[in-house]
Structure 1
Amino acid sequence: MVIEVVRIGQRLVRDDRVTTHVALVARAFGCSKIFMTEVNPEIKDTLEKINNTWGGDFVVEFIDNWKSIVKMKKKDSKIVHLTMYGESINEVDMQLRKEENLLIVVGAEKVPREIYELADYNVGIGNQPHSEISALAIILDRIQKGEQFKNSFPGAKRKIIPTRNGKNVLVRGTRD
């Protein structure tokens, strides 16, 4: 399964950190790419540094128009829109696991009404206000049932070795 994310919008200044964290969650939880609109270009640099140190080839792509990406991806992917007002994750997670390719739409502020109509799934994580970062993490974990954490990232210079106490980090001198 290929999972990608599109981030729609950004509240200037306030959302640089939130958008960075949406991208970090997408990367760490097994997505291959994130498309972003209206973003500080330093976010891409940050993710490239993370890839260089921690491995992987997660891609950040800046786009001008979210709608064109959604329509293009709709040809071979199911569109999943994260919203508090959607169907409960508990009702659709098994269906999502069966899909071949997913594009998950994560909004910043109020998203255009059109995304609700373009989406194959409008999915709510709980029924209370919450962070888009947590919503993305939960849906990615539900879809993959924790399997995304079993694989290491290729080319990692650093790898965390799970330990009960303290920190244990394997540091390699060069990328594999």
Structure 2
Amino acid sequence: MMNINVLRLDHRKKRDARITTHVCLTSRAFGASKTYLSGEEDQKLMKNVEDVVERWGGDFQVEYKKSYMNLIEEWQNNGGEVIHLTMYGSQVQDVIEEIRESPKDKLIVVGGSRVPTKIYKKSDYNVSVTKQPHSEVASLAVFQHMLMDGSEFDLEFDNAVFEVIPTAEGKQVNIHEENKTDDE
């Protein structure tokens, strides 16, 4: 399985807490192993995401990086590739197969406020998920879905306390008592 990480640029605590949380949860649910946050450090947000992982399983991590450019350069120096999601890039349907077939670790970059030109220049791919402005969460979900070729629907999250059982009506949740911690 490919190693997928996500970098959320320019997080602002007061303005972006909800959307950045959704970036983290989406990246996790769709198969990423880690989300890096840049911008303002937000321990509360990171703790909230870690709490979700404790309850819903897996080994997903969230980490703050003061310098996103250092992370990008380190990623590429270690043989990984950087995919920047933007409405100004190559259309996802035209490049997804090439990206999927590459054995390189993936760092998917999603913006916050205005994305600096250096991100466009440094990225291995600038990928457009539609040519219209919309949410970075939507772009991330569509891109990861296409990258995973739908296999994210079958992901298993080890050590989950809660597990949703899909049903046509109602809500069914298995509770795995053996995975509960003393805090729950």
Q: Smaller-chain TM-score range?
A: over 0.9
- Residue among 143, 146, 162 paired with 1:142: 146
Q: Deviations along 1:57-87, whole A, 9 cap, x unmatched? A: 1111111100000000012211000111000
Runs of 5+ unmatched residues, structure 2: none
Q: C-alpha separation between the residues in 2 aligned to 1:90 and 1:145?
A: 12
> What is the aligned-residue RMSD (CA, Å)?
1.2
Contact 2:36–2:64 (CA<8 Å) still a contact in 1? yes
- Residue among 161, 172, 175 paired with 2:176: 172
Paired residues for 1:13-162 under 5 Å = 13-37=14-38, 38-75=40-77, 76-100=79-103, 101-162=105-166
Q: Deviation at 1:174?
A: 2.1
Question: One-letter code of the match for 2:35?
Answer: I
Contact 2:163–2:175 (CA<8 Å) still a contact in 1? yes
Q: C-alpha separation between the residues in 1 aligned to 2:6 and 2:155?
A: 20
SS where residue 9 of structure 1 aligns? strand
Runs of 5+ unmatched residues, structure 1: none
Contact 1:25–1:133 (CA<8 Å) still a contact in 2? yes
Contact 2:87–2:130 (CA<8 Å) still a contact in 1? yes
TM, length-normalised to structure 1: 0.96
Question: One-letter code of the match for 1:58?
Answer: F
Moved over 4 A (4+): none
Paired positions, count: 176
Q: Deviation at 1:12?
A: 4.3
Q: Deviation at 1:97?
A: 0.8
What corresponds to 1:2 in structure 2? Answer: 3
Contact 1:96–1:143 (CA<8 Å) still a contact in 2? yes
- Aligned-residue sequence identity (percent) comes to 38
SS where residue 64 of structure 1 aligns? coil
Contact 2:85–2:110 (CA<8 Å) still a contact in 1? yes
Question: Which structure has more helix as a fraction of its residues?
Answer: 2
Q: Deviations along 1:78-122, whole A, 9 cap, x unmatched? A: 100011100000101111111221000111011110011110100
